Amino acid sequence: MSERPDRRPSPSAGKRTGWRRPASPADTPPARPPAAPQPAPPAPTPPNHRSVIDSAVYRDGRRIASPTTLADTFRRLREEPDGMAWIGLHRPTEPELHSLAAEFNLHELAVEDALEAHQRPKLERYGDTLFVVLRAARYLDAQEEVDFGELHIFVGPDFLITVRHGGAPDLSSVRRRMEETPELLSLGPEAALYAILDAVVDGYAPVVEGVQTDIDEIETEVFRGDPAVSRRIYELSREMVEFQRATRPLVGMLHGLMAGFAKYGTDEELQRYLRDVADHVTHTSERVDGFRQALTEILTVNATLVSQQQNAEMRALAEAGFEQNEEIKKISSWAAILFAPTLVGTIYGMNFEAMPELRWALGYPFAVALMAAVCISLYLIFKRRDWL
């Protein structure tokens, strides 16, 4: 990034890393003349605008100013050539980001990404400025779900700008911790960047524990036959896909930062911090991969159990239908047996004078014998066919 006429490089090379522009008599500009042309920044943000969460100027790791507007922050930083600005924003407006871009010479593509959000985790360098996108996560106990937030970070030689989209992460605790260790914050904006990386990765730990608890509960529900467990598995699987998208790129990003230690003269203490963060995010990424595999296996087991349950229900229905058919056969058989004497009796009971066998002395015994013969014959037939 080219040197702006209103900003001087830091003379304390021992406290800053390679991101701080080197100081030399040749490139140290003289005091700015009053008539020097300045790009007109957009109108300053009102002091009560909620998008500016916190804005501070530091010198030697200690807060020396807490401006209430972006314009005041710019002016105060110009007055402190050895200072560092840390600006925290939450869902800023387009004019606010454009004012930051004009002041700190931010690349328009990075500014566009910060405005639109919904970016994948990535690390890009535009001259002396790093642009970092992180996906933070937090576990909501009440809803038993994972909430994802997005964080965009601009890191320059003497400034750090955070643009937060969503509820996570809470950077106020990171700022307080860094202010309590001024010797670490005095290392420059990259120290604050590593602290933010550490906070985001540490925020994954409660999420991992919450997801592990959910998976244990899901396993119990699967073998208990809870019908709502399939939906819960599906929703948790989708959250794990998002979790993978947040953690997998972060592993490569951290290794990329580690590869630039020598080139950019990163402080040894910061190198240790970054290696520790890289170890944690690698472990988290492996756990998330394991969760996805476990959920896939649980879903397969659940589908198998559901299929077995359906087969058992179908078998029970078939058995019930078979038993019902057997009962119908018995009822039909007895109905046919009882219908035969009724038919004979009905025929012999008709009141006609010119009927054969009407005056036959053996007519009554013959009718009874005929009824008995028909009933016995039907009984034997149905018995032979196992209907009775």
Q: Is the pLDDT of residue 110 over 80?
A: yes
Radius of gyration of the CA atoms of the chain, in A: 42
The pLDDT, as a whole number, for residue 310 is 81
Rounded to an integer, the average pLDDT of 7-36 is 38
Q: Which of 7-16, 209-218, 268-277 has the lowest mean pLDDT?
A: 7-16
Contact 134, 195 (CB under 8 A): no
What DSSP letter does each residue of 59-100 carry, written as one string?
Answer: ETTEEEE--SSHHHHHHHHHH-TTEEEEEEEES--HHHHHHH
Strand bridging mode 83-90 / 159-165: parallel
HSE value, Cβ hemisphere, 13 Å, CA-based, for 152: 23
Which residues are 57's β-sheet partners?
65, 85
The pLDDT, as a whole number, for residue 5 is 39
Query: Within the chain, where are the H helices?
Result: 70-79, 94-104, 108-116, 172-180, 182-185, 189-224, 229-259, 261-264, 268-348, 363-384
Q: Which residue has the higher pLDDT, 41 or 340?
A: 340
Rounded to an integer, the average pLDDT of 349-373 is 78
Question: In which band, very low, low, confident or very high, does the pLDDT at 49 lie, cut at 50, 70 and 90?
Answer: very low
> DSSP state, 351?
-
Nearest by Cα to 251 from 280, 224, 273, 225: 280
Question: In which band, very low, low, confident or very high, does the pLDDT at 50 lie, cut at 50, 70 and 90?
Answer: low
Summarised one tens digit per residue, pLDDT across range 131-178 is 999 999 999 888 888 889 899 999 999 999 999 988 777 889 999 999
Q: Is the pLDDT of residue 4 over 50?
A: no
The pLDDT, as a whole number, for residue 23 is 37
**How many angstroms separate the CA atoms of 181 and 164, rounded?**
24
Q: Can you say whether residue 61 is alpha, beta or left, with left for phi > 0 and alpha for psi between -120 and 50 degrees? A: left
CA 193 to chain centre: 24
Nearest by Cα to 137 from 146, 127, 128: 146
357 vs 340, 347, 363, 368, CA distance in Å?
Answer: 20, 12, 6, 14
Summarised one tens digit per residue, pLDDT across range 330-339 is 888 888 888 8
Q: Is the pLDDT of residue 26 over 50?
A: no
Q: Highest-confidence range of 202-206, 268-272, 314-318, 370-374, by mean pLDDT?
A: 202-206
- Residue 57, SS3? strand
Nearest by Cα to 190 from 154, 214, 233: 154
The pLDDT, as a whole number, for residue 42 is 43
Stated pTM of the model: 0.69
Q: Is the pLDDT of residue 253 over 60?
A: yes
The pLDDT mean for the chain works out to 81
Question: In which band, very low, low, confident or very high, does the pLDDT at 211 lie, cut at 50, 70 and 90?
Answer: very high
- Tokens for 102, please give them: 């004009």
Angle at 273 between CA 271 and CA 275, to 5 degrees: 70
HSE value, Cβ hemisphere, 13 Å, CA-based, for 170: 6
The pLDDT, as a whole number, for residue 339 is 82
Rounded to an integer, the average pLDDT of 273-290 is 90
Sheet strands side by side (includes 83-90) = 62-65, 52-59, 83-90, 159-165, 145-155, 129-140, 122-126
Rounded to an integer, the average pLDDT of 315-324 is 85
Rounded to an integer, the average pLDDT of 234-253 is 90
Q: Which of 61-75, 99-113, 201-215, 345-359 has the lowest mean pLDDT?
A: 345-359
